[in-house]
Amino acid sequence: MSKVEVTVGVGDHFAGPAELAEIRKANHLKPTEADFRGKKGYYRKYNSDGSYKWGYKYKPNDGGKPTKEGAMVLDMLRPGMKADAERNEKAQAAIPRVRLKDQDGGIHYVEASQADAVARSTGRSHDWRAGGVRVERGLDGMLFRLIAGKWEPTGQLQLGFRGQQCPRRGMQRDPDGNVWAWKSRAWRLKG
């Protein structure tokens, strides 16, 4: 059994007027207690401080197939979920992020205020350099090093003593989008 549960009472979140307006707009799209009252599975429990919780118990699926109640609840929740996701996406986009790289050329985005602590604890860096040379992952997975302002293929998918070799068939694109192919026992720039 699944259930939808809502707490009615005083919250402890403080937000500015613009954020409160967005939250109110998103909350108007969510189902209310009146939408579930009178349906089988609806309940209400009172707390000692006068607030109460209400909910709706239902079976979301039966053997992998959505039930009628599950589909109804999902349809009721979908507009509010979409509005919350859009509001949260906008809030996350406003947070300044820093690009950190790991030793394999993977890129990780971290909040700017935590970048130095994360770099120290995980071994990532703001601009990772193997042997003093800048290394980045190409668009198809192979690592490239920047030498004299031009990308050169490493032939590796990861760095290290036993780094995984890149397959020598097909095409690989460097971080600038230039196409490289394995030809005559070496990676050569096409074009």
Give per-residue pLDDT as tens, 108-167: 888 877 877 887 787 776 655 666 677 778 888 888 888 888 888 888 876 665 667 777
Which range scores top for mean pLDDT: 34-38, 94-98, 104-108, 186-190? 34-38
148-151 own/partner pairs: CB under 8 Å, 24+ apart: 151/175, 151/176, 151/178
The whole-angstrom separation of Cα 117 and Cα 112 is 10
- Contacts for 34-41: CB closer than 8 Å, 24+ residues apart: 35/76, 36/4, 41/3, 41/69
